[in-house]
Homo-oligomer: A and B are copies of this chain.
Amino acid sequence: MDKTLKRMATMQRMQVTGLELFYKKGYYNTSVDDILKELSLSKGAFYYHFDSKEDFFIQIIENLLVRKMYSMLIEPIEGHENTLDSITNCFEDALETAVHNELDFGFVLSNFVNEFNGKNEKIMKHLNDILRIWEANLVSAVQRGKFNGFIDRHVDSEGMAVFLMSSYMGIRTLMVETAPSARKYRFMSQLRQYFKSIEPKGENSLNPNAVFGNVN
């Protein structure tokens, strides 16, 4: 365990800058040497730790991408009763990091889905796993929102999850070049508009979660 410390540290360094470059320039347009140059390491070091470029990337997905997706787009929604509010805040934060050109992992994911679709089935499997997890968590968040009286009982939870993921991934694509800050603002305002049509109508509109408490 202790002796593997150095190993782990090097692998971690490689993966972090690997993800950074893969994100910036794309997987196929980033050579292993590009990453190694950034770290002043050699081919020997790389292939000592990883089997192949593909294996390297899959480990990046498992070790970095999955965790960051959780901390940025799943956990911020998981804990709270008022689903619509927490989704709004979560998207707001994620898009704000995007405006500052920092790594926005929801977009990293969408980028890679686009790059590998139809080209590398093995990697697509891993990416689709993450999408499924994201979707499942959104679905249960919507259901919790219904239960807690913040979302109309008649809305389709699956549909809402798909719609949220779609619009999020889409706005990130649109933010890459033209007026990211303005587009973020407009997007968020329309998202709130959409949420208005989702709120419970009529008698049961007061939230009963003081009675039932949180679900799960």
Q: Which residues of A contact B (CB under 8 A)?
A: 24-26, 28-29, 110-111, 113-115, 117-119, 124, 128, 131-132, 155-156, 158-160, 162-163, 165-171, 173-174, 176-178, 183, 186-187, 189-191, 193-194, 196-198
Contact = CB atoms under 8 A, between A and B. Distances in A.
Max chain B Cβ within 10 angstroms of own Cβ: one of A132, A178, A190, A191: A190
Contacts of A115: 26, 114-115
Given A194-B194, A197-B193, A167 B163 contact: yes
B162 A166 contact: no
A118 B25 contact: yes
Q: Report the copy number of this chain in the oligomer.
A: 2
Given A29-B28, A119-B25, A197-B197, A169 B173 contact: yes
A174 B162 contact: yes
Contact of A162 (B111, B190, B193): B190
A99 to B, nearest CB: 14
A154 to B, nearest CB: 10
Contacts of A163: 167, 171, 186-187, 190-191, 194
